[in-house]
C-alpha cells in the first residue's frame, strides 16, 4: 500500500470518525436531555460499534472527547441508584381557602388544640423544578441525588457539582454531616436563552423550564450540564449530625448563612394572612424570574412538626397550596373506553390536540359514566379542559352555546371493548367493569405494566410499549415470565436483540435491570401484585403485619372463613375494611394467582419485612390497641407516634395484641384485654415508652 493511498484512506476514516462521533453525541443529548431518542437502540449500537472498530484500527483517533471515552457514560445509559438516609417526601395539596382552613383544623384536631390557638406557618414559594438532596460529609459535598421514589434516587453528583451557586464546602459552623434538601431549577432568562440556542442549532425546544432543568441534570456528560445555567434553592434538611434549629425560619436562616441560596418566605398565622400572601404571590408570579406552581406552608415550630409526623409519604405539618390549573378550550373528537388492570372501564375523551401550559394535551379522563351525564358531555362538544401539575387533564365544563346539533350522546358499553366479556356495573358502584378477569388481554397487560412500575418492581427498560409487544408475541404472559425471559432468550433462535429497535446493548441492559430486581422488599412485592384496593400504604401495613409472603398467603387462605381468627386479624389492620379484605382473600383464592405466585417465589428473593430504624423501641413490631380517652395527646397523635416507632395499631383486641393502652373511661376492649391476659398500660406509661 503506497503512503499516499494510506493517507487518503486515513483522511476518509478520520472524517467518518468525526461524523460518527457527532451523531452519537447528539443522539446521547436527545436521549438524555429531551427524552426524544433520535434513533432506535439498534441503530445506536451499530454506530458505536463502527466507531469502536475505527478506533481499534487507528488508535490515534481515540481522543479524550470521543464518545467511546466519555467519563460517566455507563453502558446501561443510566445513573447509579442511591438510597436516601432519610426519605424524600412529597406534599399533600390544597386548592382553595376552605382547603387551607381544613389544613389548619386538622393540625389543631390532631394536636388537641382549640380553634382559637394560633399556629405559625411559614409560607414559601413552591419552586417548579426537580428536588435534590445534597449530602455534605466533613463539610464537603459528597453526593447529590434526585428524589426518585422517595427512598431511592439517582446519583447526579458530577452534574450538580457544575451548578455554580451550590457550595462545594460548607463553613466550619455547619454540622459535619448535613443533607440539604431543595430544588434545582432553571430561571426564566436562562430558559429563553437555551431554547433560542436549541432552535438555532435545529434541536428541539424544551416545553418548560422544569423539563429543561430536569433534562440538563440528567445528562451523562457533565460538561453539557455545565453549559446550562441552573440554580438551586434550599428549603429543608435530611440527615444531619445534630439538631441545629428549632423552627423552619431558623433552618432557612442557617442554610442561607452557610451559602445555600433560598427563596423569600413569610410567616402567616391566620387564614387572612395566608390568603393575602397567596394572592400577592399569584400576581408577582410572572416577575419572579423562576417558575413556581404554588405555595408551601410549613408549621414553623419543629417540636410541633415532630409531634405531627407523617401520613404515608407526606408530612402532616406541611402542604402545598397549588395555583389554579391552566385551562384551554378544545373539541372532543371521540370518547374511548380504557380498560384498567382491575377491569375498570374508564371513559377517556380524545381531544383535538392543544397546548396547555407548554404541554400538548390530546386526552382527558372522564372518570366514569355518571360524570359524563352530570356534566352532559357529548362527542363533538367544545369543552374547557384543565391541567394542573402532573394530574391527568380533565374536562371542566361544556360550552353548550357552541353546539350545532351534530353532537352525539355517549352510551355505556355492554361489553368490554378489548375482550368482549360482559361490562358489569354492580349495584351501588360508579365503576363499570370488564368481567373477563385475566382472560381479558388488556387487564393482563395492565397488570404487567403495574408489576414493573416505579413503586413496584421498577424495572428500567420494560416500558409500556415493550410490555405490550412482548405480550403480543407471547414472550411475557404473566409476571413470572419476566424472570425466565433471559434463559428462554438464550435457547431461542430469534433473540430479542434481533427485534426491531433492539440491539445487543439494549438486550444486555434489559436483562441487567431485570436481574437487579430479583431481590425485592415485601411491601413493594405486595403492591406489585396489583390487588384491588391495595395501594402502597396498605401494602406496607400488610407487610408489617405478616412479615413474610408465606405468612401473608397462609393467613389469607385461612381468612376465607369469615368467623376465623385470621379474618378478624385482617380486619383489625388499619385501613382494611370488609371490601379490601374480600379483594385480598379473593386474590389468594384464585388458582391462577397462586400458580404465578409460586413461580415468582422460585425466581425472587422476597425480603422479610424489617422495621425501619426502630429496633430500639420496645413497641417496634408489636401490636397496640388504644381504648378510652387520652388526656395529653389526641388518639390520632398517639396512634401516629406508635406507628412511627414501628408498632402496628389495631382496632380490636385479640390474642395477637401485645399492649392495650387505656385512657379514661375505656370501653369493652379493656375487658377483652383482661380476659385474654393482654398487658394493659396507662397513658403515662405509654408516654414513657414513646419518649425513649
Ligand atoms: S418541602 C417534607 N418546600 O415540591 C417536605 N418542597 O410536591 C417536602 N418543592 O418534592 C418538600 N418547593 O420537590 C418543599 N419550598 C418547598 C418546595 C418544595 C418545591 C417540591 C419538592 C417536593 C415537591 C412536593
Q: Is the CB of 315 under 6 A from ligand 1?
A: yes
Of the candidates 398, 319, 335, 385, the one whose C-alpha atom is nearest the C-alpha of residue 357 is: 385
Q: Is the Cβ atom of 126 under 6 angstroms away from ligand 1?
A: yes
The count of C-alpha atoms lying within 13 angstroms of the C-alpha of 479, restricted to the half-sphere facing its C-beta, is 34
- Which is the catalytic residue, given 64, 81, 126, 298? 126
Backbone angles phi, psi at 297, to 5 degrees: -105, 130
pLDDT at 69: 63
**Which range among 86-95, 169-178, 528-537 has the greatest average pLDDT?**
169-178
The alpha carbon of 321 is separated from its chain's Cα centroid by a whole number of angstroms, namely 19
Picking from 394, 329, 325, the residue whose alpha carbon sits closest to that of residue 364 is 394
Q: Where are the alpha helices (DSSP H) in 222-325?
A: 222-227, 248-257, 271-284, 302-308
Report the alpha-carbon distance of residue 573 to residue 533 in Å, rounded: 14
**What are 32-61's pLDDT values in tens digits?**
544 455 666 567 767 887 888 888 888 888
Instruction: Tell me which residue of 580, 454, 469, 577 sits closest to 524, measured CA to CA.
Output: 454
User: pTM for the complete prediction?
Assistant: 0.64
CATH 1.10.150.20 positions along the chain are 520-607
287/125 Cα distance (integer angstroms): 13
Band (pLDDT 50/70/90 cuts) for residue 468 is very high
CB atoms within 10 A of CB 175: 18
User: How far is residue 617's CA from residue 428's CA, in Å, rounded to a whole number?
Assistant: 45
Return the DSSP state at 287.
Answer: G
CA distance 34 to 206: 7
Pocket lining: 251 vs ligand 1, CB cutoff 6 Å:
no
User: How many angstroms is it from 311 CA to the middle of ligand 1?
Assistant: 16
Sequence-separated (6 or more) residues with CB below 8 Å from residue 78: 154, 460
Residue 416 CB less than 6 A away from ligand 1 = no
pLDDT value at 21 more than 60? yes
**For residues 96 and 78, what is the distance between their CA atoms, to the nearest angstrom?**
40
pLDDT exceeds 90 at position 390: no
For cell 431461542, what's the residue? 492
Q: For atom 17 of ligand 1, which residue has the closest CA?
A: 126
Q: What is d(CA 217, CA 534) in angstroms, rounded to the nearest whole number? A: 34
209-to-216, 235, 323, 591 alpha-carbon distances in Å? 10, 20, 17, 50
Write down the pLDDT at residue 315: 94
- Domain 81-322: which CATH class? alpha beta
Please name the fold of domain 3-70+325-409: OB fold (Dihydrolipoamide Acetyltransferase, E2P) (2.40.50)
Cα–Cα distance measured from residue 346 to residue 337, given in angstroms and rounded to the nearest whole number: 5
Question: CB of 183 closer than 6 A to ligand 1?
Answer: yes
Distance CA(444)–CA(341), nearest Å, equals 7
Distance 165 CA to ligand 1 centre (A): 19
Contact 565, 597 (CB under 8 A): no
With residues binned 3-state (H G I as helix, E B as strand, rest as coil), the percentages for the chain, rounded to 5, are 40, 20, 40
Measure the CA–CA gap between 633 and 111, rounded to whole angstroms. 6
Residues of the chain with CATH 2.40.50.140: 3-70+325-409
More confident residue, 67 or 601: 601
- Separation of CA 90 and ligand 1 centre (Å): 6
pLDDT > 70? residue 83: yes
Question: Higher confidence at residue 63 or residue 569?
Answer: 569
Q: How much is the pLDDT for 359?
A: 76
Which DSSP letter does residue 129 get? S
Can you tell me the distance from the alpha carbon of 378 to that of 332, in angstroms, rounded to the nearest whole number? 8
623-691 CATH: 3.40.50.10190
Contact yes or no for 159/222 (Cβ under 8 A): yes
Does 686 contact ligand 1 (Cβ within 6 A)? Answer: no
Q: CATH assignment of 520-607?
A: 1.10.150.20
d(CA 643, CA 640): 5
DSSP state of 335: E
Catalytic status, residue 641:
no
Task: Give tens-digit pLDDT for 401-454.
Answer: 999 999 999 999 999 999 999 999 988 889 999 998 888 999 999 999 999 998
Portions of the chain given CATH number 3.30.470.30? 81-322
Burial of 487 (0-12, 13-18, 19+ CB in 10 A): exposed
Give the bridge partners for 131, in sequence order: 183
Residue nearest to atom 23 of ligand 1 (CA): 90
Q: What DSSP string runs through 164-176?
A: TTS-SB--TTS-S
Enumerate the CATH 3.40.50.10190 domain ranges in the chain, comma separated: 623-691
Amino acid at each position: 500500500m503506497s503512503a499516499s493511498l494510506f493517507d487518503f484512506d486515513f483522511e476518509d476514516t478520520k472524517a467518518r470518525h468525526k461524523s460518527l462521533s457527532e451523531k452519537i453525541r447528539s443522539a446521547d443529548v436527545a436521549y438524555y436531555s429531551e427524552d426524544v431518542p433520535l434513533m432506535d437502540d439498534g441503530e445506536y449500537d451499530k454506530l458505536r460499534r463502527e466507531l469502536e472498530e475505527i478506533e481499534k484500527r487507528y488508535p490515534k483517533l481515540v481522543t479524550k472527547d470521543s464518545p467511546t471515552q466519555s467519563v460517566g457514560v455507563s453502558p446501561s445509559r443510566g445513573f447509579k441508584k442511591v438510597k436516601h438516609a432519610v426519605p424524600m417526601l412529597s406534599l399533600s395539596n390544597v386548592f382553595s381557602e376552605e382547603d387551607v382552613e381544613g389544613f389548619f383544623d386538622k393540625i389543631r384536631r390532631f394536636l388537641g388544640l382549640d380553634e382559637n390557638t394560633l399556629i405559625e406557618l411559614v409560607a414559601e414559594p413552591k419552586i417548579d423544578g426537580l428536588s435534590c438532596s445534597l449530602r455534605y460529609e466533613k463539610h464537603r459535598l459528597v453526593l447529590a441525588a434526585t428524589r426518585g421514589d422517595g427512598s431511592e434516587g439517582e446519583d447526579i453528583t458530577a452534574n450538580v457539582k457544575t451548578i455554580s451557586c451550590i457550595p462545594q464546602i460548607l463553613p466550619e459552623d455547619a454540622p459535619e454531616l448535613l443533607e440539604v434538601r431543595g430544588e434545582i431549577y432553571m430561571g426564566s432568562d436562562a430558559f429563553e436563552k437555551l431554547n433560542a440556542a436549541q432552535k438555532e442549532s435545529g434541536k428541539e425546544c424544551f416545553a418548560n423550564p422544569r423539563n429543561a432543568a430536569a433534562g440538563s441534570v440528567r445528562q451523562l456528560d457533565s460538561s453539557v450540564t455545565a453549559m446550562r445555567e441552573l440554580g438551586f434553592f434550599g428549603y429543608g434538611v435530611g440527615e444531619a449530625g445534630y439538631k441545629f434549629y428549632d423552627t423552619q425560619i431558623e433552618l432557612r436562616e442557617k442554610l442561607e448563612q452557610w451559602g445555600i441560596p433560598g427563596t423569600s418566605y413569610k410567616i402567616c398565622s391566620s387564614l387572612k394572612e395566608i390568603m393575602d400572601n397567596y394572592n400577592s404571590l399569584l400576581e408577582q408570579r410572572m416577575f419572579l424570574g423562576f417558575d413556581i406552581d404554588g405555595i408551601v406552608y410549613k408549621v414553623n415550630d419543629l417540636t410541633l412538626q415532630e409531634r405531627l409526623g407523617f401520613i404515608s409519604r407526606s408530612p402532616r405539618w406541611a402542604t402545598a397550596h397549588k395555583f389554579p390549573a391552566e385551562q384551554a378550550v378544545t373539541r372532543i373528537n371521540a370518547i374511548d373506553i380504557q380498560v384498567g388492570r382491575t377491569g375498570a372501564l374508564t371513559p377517556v375523551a380524545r381531544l383535538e390536540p392543544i397546548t396547555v401550559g407548554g404541554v400538548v394535551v390530546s386526552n382527558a379522563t372522564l372518570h366514569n359514566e355518571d360524570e359524563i351525564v352530570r356534566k352532559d358531555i357529548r362527542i363533538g362538544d367544545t369543552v374547557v379542559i384543565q391541567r394542573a401539575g402532573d394530574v391527568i387533564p380533565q374536562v371542566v365544563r361544556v360550552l353548550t352555546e357552541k353546539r350545532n346539533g351534530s353532537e352525539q350522546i355517549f352510551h355505556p358499553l355492554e361489553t368490554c371493548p378489548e375482550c368482549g366479556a360482559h361490562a358489569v356495573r354492580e349495584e351501588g358502584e360508579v365503576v363499570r367493569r370488564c368481567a373477563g378477569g385475566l382472560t381479558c388481554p388488556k387487564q393482563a397487560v395492565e397488570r404487567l405494566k403495574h408489576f414493573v412500575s416505579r413503586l413496584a418492581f421498577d424495572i428500567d427498560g420494560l416500558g409500556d410499549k415493550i410490555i405490550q409487544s412482548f405480550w403480543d408475541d407471547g414472550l411475557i404472559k404473566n409476571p413470572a415470565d419476566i424472570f425466565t425471559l433471559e434463559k428462554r432468550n438464550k435457547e431461542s433462535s430469534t433473540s430479542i436483540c434481533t427485534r426491531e429497535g433492539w440491539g445487543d446493548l439494549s438486550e444486555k441492559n434489559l436483562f441487567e435491570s431485570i436481574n437487579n430486581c430479583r431481590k425485592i422488599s415485601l411491601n413493594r412485592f405486595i403492591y406489585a401484585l396489583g390487588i384491588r384496593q391495595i395501594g402502597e400504604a396498605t401494602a406496607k401495613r400488610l407487610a408489617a403485619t405478616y412479615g413474610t409472603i408465606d405468612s401473608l398467603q397462609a393467613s389469607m387462605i385461612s381468612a376465607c372463613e369469615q368467623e376465623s381468627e385470621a379474618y378478624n386479624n385482617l380486619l383489625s389492620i388499619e385501613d382494611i375494611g370488609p371490601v379490601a379484605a374480600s379483594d385480598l382473600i379473593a386474590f389468594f383464592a384464585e388458582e391462577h394467582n397462586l400458580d404465578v405466585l409460586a413461580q415468582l417465589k422460585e425466581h425472587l428473593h422476597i425480603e422479610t419485612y424489617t422495621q425501619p430504624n426502630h429496633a430500639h423501641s420496645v413497641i417496634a413490631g408489636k401490636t397496640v390497641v388504644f381504648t378510652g380517652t387520652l388526656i395529653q395527646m389526641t388518639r390520632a397523635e398517639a396512634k401516629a407516634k406508635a406507628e412511627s416507632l414501628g408498632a402496628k395499631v389495631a382496632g380490636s383486641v385479640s390474642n395477637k395484641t401485645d399492649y392495650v393502652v387505656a385512657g379514661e373511661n375505656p370501653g369493652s376492649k379493656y375487658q377483652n384485654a383482661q380476659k385474654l391476659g393482654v398487658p394493659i398500660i396507662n397513658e403515662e406509661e405509654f408516654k414513657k415508652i414513646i419518649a425513649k
